[in-house]
Structure 1
Amino acid sequence: MTTKTTYFATTARGFEEMLKSELEQITDAQCKIAQGGVHFTTDQTGVYKALLHSRLASRILLPLLQTKIFSDSDLYASIVSYQWADLFDPRDTFFVDFNGTNQEIRHTQFGAMRVKDGIVDYFERKGFARPTVDKINPDVRIHVYLDRENLVVSLDLSGDALHIRGYREDTGKAPLRETLAAAIILRSGWKKGTVLVDPMCGSGTLLIEAAQMQANIAPQINRQKWGFYAWKGHSQALWKHVFDQAVELQKNSEISPLANFYGFDLDHRVLAKAQQNAENAGVAHLIQWQQGDVAALKNPFPEQIGTVVCNPPYGERLGTTPALIALYSVFGQRLKQQFAGWNASIFSGEPELLNCLRLRSARQFKAKNGPLDCVQKNYFISDRAVEQKTDLVFEQTAHAGKDVAQDFANRLAKNIKKMEKWAKQQGIDAYRLYDADLPEYNLAVDRYADHIVVQEYAAPKNIDENKARQRLLDAVSATLYVTGVETNKLVLKVRQKQKGTNQYEKLANKGDYFYVNEYGAKLWVNLTDYLDTGLFLDHRLTRKMVGTMAKGKTFLNLFAYTGSATIHAALNGAKSTTTVDMSNTYLNWAEQNLELNNLSLRHNRLFQADCLQWLAECRERFELIFVDPPTFSNSKRMENSWDVQRDHIELLKQLKRILTNDGTIVFSNNKRGFKMDFEGLAQLGLNAENISHKTLPLDFERNPHIHNCWIITHQKEQL
């Protein structure tokens, strides 16, 4: 009678039921599901088959010791009393994997150390040589799991984790584990002998796993070292028998190979890696590879019905996804156009991106890819999807008879028609196209030459986060289509109320600068590296007015940002300009703006300083001063905090001191509800005229409170 033993196969959470079915097919074992794995009872031949053939198991363990412990001394006593000499030779190297903690053993490293001490001390007490620990390539792996007081000690028969098949030399970015790839294939509904297409195959793992299934290639057939090689219970004869059977099964499958696998990828270098991986896996003859963009995807087997399986790229930050939104939208369109009647199974870490496919899923599964919560959705691509047409302005977003982002797309198209002609007449190519015109799409869309910036305003707390996110994805998809902008020239930003120095927060370091035209001035912008772009579009008319006023005058630009007002003043013939800002980054930006417009630093000076401190120490006088201070600042480089409502009179008091008798201050700020202190102004001997409505550009008419602007002069009787 063959002796049977209970083993434990670990797997990723959510795959336990699939692993149970697989083990039953491989071994005829009695199986019982547990969290994170499956207990299965079989003989030694059965466990060898499981090790060689399982595509879903992460490790297969032989339990050695199960007991309760309440302290580290209990742990040590349990380990040192076990008969380790019956398991492996002290000349073999070993390593301890320790998982879990309790109130007494709070660190896995400490637990592993106590287990290691117990094993070593056991051999020394028995008079054997002290065995050596090898963290890299041990002969024996001891797996320890601690759940509160329950301790399970096992021999890891796998050695290296079973997702390591040995065929991947170079995986590229964000590879799928082979076990996860196998699970995706098994859940996709694909059947052996039918066509399988991966339109974004990367290093080819999905196709290779499926091709090995079709060719009956055991996933571990090429593994060079196993965790059971040093196990004293290992039977080489049984192992050879199981291995030889796997080799024979593979040979029989090679008699009539079916090359039903097709992989596309845009990157030829990644495809070369995929081809090499397929060669290593023994399935190169089954898979065809082709370089190609998913936007031009064509069905390589139009006469057959098959399955599309894919793990498209996805980003963790919403700000990185405009191109991904376009990618998924285009992918969905190509599926409908090219694969009618097929099944599709798409795996992604962002369920919202899957909504951009505009396909109705038949089934969905949850899974983990490392730390990421992912979802796999299966679709049937109806023949009717190809025939569906719409005359709406944004036909690409038609979905199940409902208009997706239709109102937004129509409004954006209407605004573009109006604004493009106006902007050309004005001589500007940076302007706003849409500004929360519709309550459901609470965002702004700005054009910067051939680029588009979509800024999402923070949604109210009573709006469901997922609903708001989906609307944003829909709006971005619509913007890409309506504007025709290239996906790499659309930038998405989440816009929130900023405090202090947050407006200067660095987001990236791409260094993607280009210039835009504004009434004859050329101004550098950067759409990706900062919350702001380097140019406040709502101040466009203010800058133009300041430029006209500056002709023949000495001009000061305080809180200058990137110096755009200075450029207008200098180009319009200012006698001299002085530009002051606390940020060295923005002063360098201003210098580049001067250079771009062929304006020398001889008559256009730049000062990096705390603006309030610089003003207090200034001994010059100016005929025209433009000041656009922040609403609030508590920068560490300032002596005190700044609040424009609280402190504007003190600021104007200092500005009056350096203003010539016939001089003018243009004072602006963006604080909603700002109230000018007329009484304080009168005490200073200053007049103020509100010109906010005169400085509001056409593209900001929907938002009259975006800024306020004032002309401030000396009272005549004070001259």
Structure 2
Amino acid sequence: MANNYKMLAKTMHGMEEILEKELKQMGAINVEKGIRSVSFEGDLGFMYKANLSLRTAIKILKPMKSFFIRSEQDLYNRINRIEWEQYLKVDGTFAIDATVNSKLFNHSHYIALKTKDAIVDRFRDSYGKRPDVDLKHPDLRINIHIHGNQCNVSFDSSGSSLHHRGYRTATNMAPINEVLAAGILLLSGWDGQCDFMDPMCGSGTMAIEAAMIACNIPANINRREFAFEKWQDYDEELFEKIFDSCMKKTREFHFKIRAFDKAPSAVRKALDNVKNANLSNYITVDQQDFFESTKEGEEKLHMVFNPPYGQRLEIDIENFYKHIGDTLKQGYPNTEAWFISSNLEAIKSVGLRPSRKIHLYNGKLDSRLLKFEIYAGSKKAKYNN
């Protein structure tokens, strides 16, 4: 236990409970849910596993220092006192991400510059030279968070956001964020125990994330790099051991995952991304108009999709959403259908009563994740049997 330390997993609004559950299932200790974040404790190997396997985390931060400040000089002095040479070589590179919610300061870019000055001045005073700033691929990415007069200094172990899974090279006009897609699937209760369909698949993200959940494939298995791989204490042998352990927990999937879209360009992109994710054996992608489709077979179907919201595509959005409801009612019995939309007016045109509504954000768009239960026959008949 002595090697455990506190970490912070950042996430999206509405994903906190799912992330908390993921961390507990992975074996994290002292797990505490926050606002768009979950704190937890674990050792170095667990930090590697969290980055590799968590589906609903955006970043994994390792807190280093926390202190109170009353002025920008306070900030400079406290940052300058940190023994940065333990974590960063004089000829290394670093980057700073700053978030500010304080009456003392009102500009995150200024805080990042002040922090940079304090770090480089320490190196220059000790060694006569300084590390360089590299915003894209630094050896050390530093996170500064100021709330009120409290400053938290953390190291970003992930690097680029963990929604950059590594499999998506081709995207459509409005691709859904991979972390959001995974979170939606987990919120919908998807567990890989029946057939799955995304009838408006775009670049294939929802189907790919569904297959990875069904097969228990680590979320970030296709990423090229994590920030911790450049840390001075990086243990490559340990990371490979964690990697192998995670891969041994993958499982076979014995149902079908279907993705289709009426746009040929979307189908081509989805096929490319499915191939990149090494999931061609599990996912079929076809060109098909959902509104002209019907369900295959009588077994239960789990459907999750991200329809147009009417912001980028010029369509009759109310009629479009009415067609969604009609198609579900007429062609998809014994189906649990979920979709997310930010068009709260158009949702009313579906003509079906959702059994659940979950408040989420798709980027900055205030959205709802809706669940519709389509029974075989009428709902009344279901309860009379």
User: What's the TM-score once normalised by structure 1's chain length?
Assistant: 0.51
Corresponding residue SS for 1:98: strand
Please name the residue that 2:304 is paired with.
Answer: 309
Please name the residue that 1:135 is paired with.
Answer: 135
Q: Measure, in 2, the Cα distance between the counterparts of 1:242 and 1:144.
A: 29
Contact 1:337-1:385 within 8 A present in 2 as well:
no
- Residue 101 of structure 1 and its aligned partner are, at CA, apart by 4.0
Corresponding residue SS for 1:346: strand
- Residue 103 of structure 1 and its aligned partner are, at CA, apart by 2.8
Instruction: Provide structure 1 residue ranges, at least 5 long, that are not aligned to the other structure.
Output: 389-719
Q: Measure, in 1, the Cα distance between the counterparts of 2:151 and 2:378.
A: 56
Contact 2:66-2:152 within 8 A present in 1 as well:
yes
Please name the residue that 1:533 is paired with.
Answer: none
Q: Measure, in 2, the Cα distance between the counterparts of 1:284 and 1:321.
A: 32
Change (3 A) 1:257 1:33: closer
- Structural mapping, 1:375-390, within 5 Å: 375-385=368-378
- Structural mapping, 1:9-158, within 5 Å: 9-127=9-127, 129-158=129-158
Q: In the alignment, residue 366 of structure 2 is paired with which amino acid?
A: D
2:254 counterpart (250, 255, 258): 258
Q: Measure, in 2, the Cα distance between the counterparts of 1:280 and 1:92.
A: 33
Tell me how many residue pairs correspond in the alignment: 381
- Residue 148 of structure 1 and its aligned partner are, at CA, apart by 1.2
Change (3 A) 1:295 1:269: same
Q: Measure, in 1, the Cα distance between the counterparts of 2:79 and 2:98.
A: 13
Please name the residue that 1:298 is paired with.
Answer: 294
- Does 1:332 pair with 2:332? no
Q: In the alignment, residue 164 of structure 2 is paired with which amino acid?
A: I
- Residue 259 of structure 1 and its aligned partner are, at CA, apart by 5.0
Q: Measure, in 1, the Cα distance between the counterparts of 2:264 and 2:177.
A: 22
- Does 1:237 pair with 2:237? yes
Q: For residues 308-357 of structure 1, what are the alpha-carbon distances to aligned partners after superposition, in whole Å with 9 as ceiling and x for unaligned?
A: 1111001249xx77522222111211111121121111111112222222
Q: In the alignment, residue 290 of structure 1 is paired with which amino acid?
A: D
Q: In the alignment, residue 335 of structure 1 is paired with which amino acid?
A: L
Corresponding residue SS for 2:355: strand
Q: For residues 597-631 of structure 1, what are the alpha-carbon distances to aligned partners after superposition, in whole Å with 9 as ceiling and x for unaligned?
A: xxxxxxxxxxxxxxxxxxxxxxxxxxxxxxxxxxx
Contact 2:144-2:152 within 8 A present in 1 as well:
yes
- Residue 268 of structure 1 and its aligned partner are, at CA, apart by 0.9
Change (3 A) 1:88 1:141: same
- Residue 224 of structure 1 and its aligned partner are, at CA, apart by 1.9
Change (3 A) 1:238 1:128: farther
Q: For residues 132-182 of structure 1, what are the alpha-carbon distances to aligned partners after superposition, in whole Å with 9 as ceiling and x for unaligned?
A: 101122221101111111111100000111010011112111111100000
Instruction: Provide structure 2 residue ranges, at least 5 long, that are not aligned to the other structure.
Output: none
Contact 2:96-2:142 within 8 A present in 1 as well:
yes
- Residue 385 of structure 1 and its aligned partner are, at CA, apart by 4.7
Please name the residue that 1:673 is paired with.
Answer: none
Q: Measure, in 1, the Cα distance between the counterparts of 2:279 and 2:144.
A: 37
Contact 1:340-1:385 within 8 A present in 2 as well:
no
2:344 counterpart (329, 347, 351): 351
- Residue 276 of structure 1 and its aligned partner are, at CA, apart by 0.8
Q: CA RMSD in A?
A: 1.9
Please name the residue that 2:247 is paired with.
Answer: 247
- Residue 2 of structure 1 and its aligned partner are, at CA, apart by 4.7
- Structural mapping, 1:279-294, within 5 Å: 279-294=275-290
Change (3 A) 1:91 1:211: same
Please name the residue that 1:452 is paired with.
Answer: none
- Structural mapping, 1:471-490, within 5 Å: none
Corresponding residue SS for 1:30: strand
Please name the residue that 2:360 is paired with.
Answer: 367
Contact 1:17-1:33 within 8 A present in 2 as well:
yes
Contact 1:340-1:386 within 8 A present in 2 as well:
no
- Residue 235 of structure 1 and its aligned partner are, at CA, apart by 2.2
Q: For residues 460-500 of structure 1, what are the alpha-carbon distances to aligned partners after superposition, in whole Å with 9 as ceiling and x for unaligned?
A: xxxxxxxxxxxxxxxxxxxxxxxxxxxxxxxxxxxxxxxxx
Q: Measure, in 1, the Cα distance between the counterparts of 2:317 and 2:49.
A: 42
Q: In the alignment, residue 312 of structure 1 is paired with which amino acid?
A: P
Q: Measure, in 2, the Cα distance between the counterparts of 1:266 and 1:132.
A: 49
User: What's the TM-score once normalised by structure 2's chain length?
Assistant: 0.94
Higher relative contact order (CA 8 A, sep 6+): 2
Corresponding residue SS for 2:249: helix
Corresponding residue SS for 1:229: helix
Corresponding residue SS for 1:228: helix
- Structural mapping, 1:637-676, within 5 Å: none
Contact 1:190-1:306 within 8 A present in 2 as well:
no
Please name the residue that 1:274 is paired with.
Answer: 270
Contact 2:28-2:41 within 8 A present in 1 as well:
no
Q: In the alignment, residue 49 of structure 1 is paired with which amino acid?
A: K
